[in-house]
Structure 1
């Protein structure tokens, strides 16, 4: 029987954020037996306040340990050092200080660890449910996966993650063999490749890509992110706030090999899943590029397009894959060979907005039109006043300059 996973809280210089996370941890549900160890690791910021918060926090569920780093490690090295605590503690749940947990996060983590301990494709467990594709800057909606609590995504989790000792050893071995230079690794989304050198997450995600591994993500999130200002965020943001679980459940964890909901690092559904859902696709070798962020070259791809392809589907159901799964013929999605990065027209941008979001209300449209017309009117009145005022009486007239300006104006208009 596995021992209870250890909680590891990572902080730096956000005492209010740390207090909020610790309070949410204190209200969560934990096993009656065995106790739960809490480790609070604080990087050196020169500010003693986070340390005071950590030392004063009462943890009634087991042993509490506070690690105050003597020198500044930086985010990458700090997270790596906390992951290395798996050698001492075994299974760990890692939480950065701008998170907030569901009361049932610990129950979920224990069930997920037990379910995937022998799954060679699962390299970690996320407590956060992704609802936004950062690479495409569009909403993400995983398809239904039966009674499973999880879907699978080739993106390492950083907003609440669970690692076994074996999970972490696999990543650490890869990192020691390959180092931090990932410039020659293919298949990394461009936004992830552009993350700063202080990012440990892009290294972990690269490890997943090179070994075809995945994290198990929950449909119902067990953490949410407050987006507090910190090392990589200058202003607070609610962009990554998601609903968190408020009720206990029986935690049915889907088997990876039977799952339909398997996504790559671009948040694109696996071709094999679509082939299982729509037999018309079974004889095709293709890539899925519905968000349009992959460089597919001349490869056959399922993508958003108005072009006629070998097969065509309507861009109508949500998530997009369901139009393909249910063979809804129409326009908007095609199985084609063509470059994706053609300039978007105003019409295609509008259609994309209309699909992912919704039509603005008549009231909102009228308000926007009124604001636009008012701005144009004010600009025109200002121009008329300036024209009526004319040049200052104290300004000497220079016909030669006027002629020169007129000539320049004609020259510009003829370009």
Structure 2
């Protein structure tokens, strides 16, 4: 029996042009007409331009999207939730209706076969207990020469075009217990940082209340449970959020801003994390030397955040 087509959830806030580009790109992908679409627009916070929020809701409520997707449902929050609560609540709401979900934010462009790839990945790893999520993003412009697989298993979740299953999401611990568990276990700390030394620093900032991130909590939970994220060899997601408009991306250069021009649907092997792949991820995500040193100093000279 063929599983139902997973829905796509798209989150927007105050960037109408970004949201429109994301939705137009998504509508042009193979399989969009068979895909349910859920749109979540966060509510206003102090100092936010109401015109921009109204413009986002105008884009999201365009009846034309109903001709591009199987159906469209729009959720508009009256008060501001913030990105973390918006995504946790929105994904939870959709997974109460569906077994699987694909998640995009309003600053992402995807390849024409993005939905084909994500649907196949979600189907292939649905019954693989070692996999916590899948993504269409690849941060590596080139893979190590010896690596022959079309996918990679990495102990680092991805927020750039990802998907998961209800049975995983329902088990996630969102409170501080998971942060304490990872922080107090040397092996878990090492695993969390194995694909980029920014992770432990981000977990510290989350525990101290300096940031409010759903992603580091989801990633810490995956690490604590021994779960990996499956990444593709061919990049299918482009992040536009490094133009200074994003709250969490800021300005600068994206890690990989090249979409694969002729991506191949891979064999979805159950692969183990490869040391050379993890080294390549560390190089991609850890940043320049001065940032790595600054993180180490912060971690060495701050009180235990748990």
TM-score scaled by structure 2?
A: 0.75
**Counterpart residue number, 1:40:** 39
Aligned equivalent of 2:224, options 210, 221, 236: 210
How far off its partner does 1:233 sit?
A: 3.8
**Aligned-partner SS, 1:175:** coil
Question: Which residue is equivalent to 1:252?
Answer: 267
Q: Which consecutive unaligned segments of at least 5 residues does structure 1 have?
A: 133-139, 270-288, 294-340, 342-415
SS in 2 for 1:170: coil
User: TM-score scaled by structure 1?
Assistant: 0.56
1:261 alignment counterpart: 274
Residues 262 and 157 from structure 1, CA distance in 2 versus in 1: closer, same or farther, beyond 3 angstroms? farther
How big is the shift at 1:73?
0.6
Deviation at 1:52, TM superposition (A): 0.6
Aligned to 2:91: 83
> Which whole-Å CA distance do the structure 2 matches of 1:260 and 1:232 have between them?
27
Q: Compared with structure 1, are the counterparts of its residues 246 and 234 closer, same or farther at alpha carbon in structure 2 (3 Å cutoff)?
A: closer
Q: Which has the higher helix share?
A: 2
Secondary structure of 2:213's match?
A: coil
1:130-169 to 2 correspondences below 5 Å: 130-131=139-140, 141-142=143-144, 144-146=146-148, 148-169=149-170
SS of equivalent residue, structure 2 residue 64: coil
Cα RMSD for the two superposed structures: 2.8
Match of 2:55 in 1: 49
Single out whichever of 16-25 and 43-52 deviates more from structure 2.
43-52
Mapped contact 1:152–1:262 kept (Cα < 8 A): no
Q: CA separation in 1, counterparts of 2:283 and 2:71?
A: 48
Instruction: Number of aligned residue pairs: give it.
Output: 257
- Please give the alpha-carbon distance, in whole angstroms, between the structure 2 residues aligned to 1:122 and 1:54: 32
Among 115, 119, 123, the alignment partner of 1:114 is 123
Higher relative contact order (CA 8 A, sep 6+): 2
Larger Rg computed on CA atoms: 1
Quote the residue 2:300 is aligned against. none
Matched, 1:73 2:74: no
Q: Secondary structure at the match of 2:158?
A: coil
Residues 197, 56 of structure 1: alpha-carbon distance in 2 compared, 3 angstrom cutoff: same
Matched-pair contact (CA < 8 Å) for 2:136–2:161: yes
CA distance in 1, matches of 2:14, 2:178: 29
Going from structure 1 to structure 2, the CA distance change for 1:178 and 1:209 (only over 3 Å counts) comes to same
Once residues 13 and 110 of structure 2 are traced to their aligned partners in structure 1, the CA distance between those partners, rounded to angstroms, is 19
CA 1:234–1:211: 2 relative to 1, 3 Å: closer
Structure 2 portions without partners, runs of 5+: 45-49, 203-209, 287-292, 294-306
CA distance in 1 between partners of 2:235 and 2:283 (Å): 24
Q: Does the C-alpha gap of structure 1 residues 209 and 39 become closer, same or farther in structure 2, counting only changes over 3 Å?
A: same
**2-side partners of 1:25 and 1:204: how far apart?**
25
Partner of 1:279: none
